[in-house]
Amino acid sequence: MQITFNNNKMKSKKTTIRILLFTVFLLTSSIGFSQKPGIVIIKAGKMLDTETGTMLNNIMIMVENEIIREVGTNIPIPSGAIIIDLSDATVLPGLIDCHTHITFQSGDNYYEMFRKSIVDYALLAPQYAKNTLEAGFTTVRDAGSKNFLDVALRNAINSNKIPGPRIQAAGYYISSTGGHGDLVGFSPMLGTREPEEMTGVADGVDAVRQKVRFNIKYGADVIKFGASAGVLSEEESVGAPQYTQEEMNAIVDEAKMWGRKAFAHAHGTEAIKMAVKAGVASVEHGSLIDDEGIALMKKNGVCLVADIYNDDYIVSEFIKMGYPETTIAKEKKVGLIQRQNFQKAVRAGVKIAFGTDAGVYPHGWNGNQFSFMVKWGMTPLQAIQAATINASDLLGWKEKVGSISVGKYADIIAVHGDPLNDVTILENVFFVMKGGKVFKNQK
pLDDT tens per residue, range 19-70: 444 444 434 444 444 444 589 999 999 999 999 999 999 999 999 999 999 9
How far is 418 from 50, CA to CA, in rounded Å?
Answer: 14
pLDDT for 198-228, tens place per residue?
A: 888 999 999 999 999 999 999 999 999 999 9
Local structure of residue 347 (DSSP, 8 states): H
Please report which confidence band the pLDDT of residue 324 belongs to, taking 50, 70 and 90 as the band edges: confident
The percent of residues in the chain predicted with pLDDT above 70, rounded, is: 86
Are the C-beta atoms of residues 396 and 349 closer than 8 Å to each other?
no
Determine how β-strand 437-441 pairs with β-strand 431-434. Answer: antiparallel
Q: At what angle do helices 149-158 and 118-134 cross, to 10 degrees?
A: 50
Number of CB atoms found within 10 A of residue 292's CB: 11
Is the pLDDT at 3 greater than 60? The verdict is no
Residue 13 pLDDT greater than 50, yes or no:
no
Distance CA 241, CA 235 (A): 12
CA dihedral sign, ordered 178, 184, 188, 190? negative
Domains and CATH numbers, the chain: 32-94+402-441 (2.30.40.10), 95-395 (3.20.20.140)
**pLDDT confidence band for 441 (50 / 70 / 90):** very high
Helix (H) or strand (E) holding 395: helix 389-395
Q: How far apart are CA 139 and CA 141, in angstroms?
A: 7
E strand or H helix at 89, and its extent?
Answer: strand 82-93
CA dist 9 and 28 (Å) reads: 29
Of the pLDDT bands very low, low, confident and very high (cuts 50, 70, 90), residue 101 is: very high
Would you call 229 exposed, middle or buried from its count of C-beta atoms within 10 A (0-12, 13-18, 19+)? buried
Amino acid identity of residue 4, one-letter, is T
Give the mean model confidence (pLDDT) for residues 354-371. 96
Check pLDDT > 80 for residue 407.
Answer: yes
Distance CA 115, CA 372 (A): 34
Dihedral pair phi/psi, residue 416, rounded to 5° = -90, 130
Tell how far CA 285 is from the center of its chain.
13
Beta-bridge mates of residue 59: 44
Pairing of strands 39-49, 54-64: antiparallel
| Identity at 351, one-letter amino acid code | K
Closest of 285, 295, 148 to residue 229, by C-alpha: 285
**Which has the minimum average pLDDT: 118-122, 260-264, 337-341?**
118-122
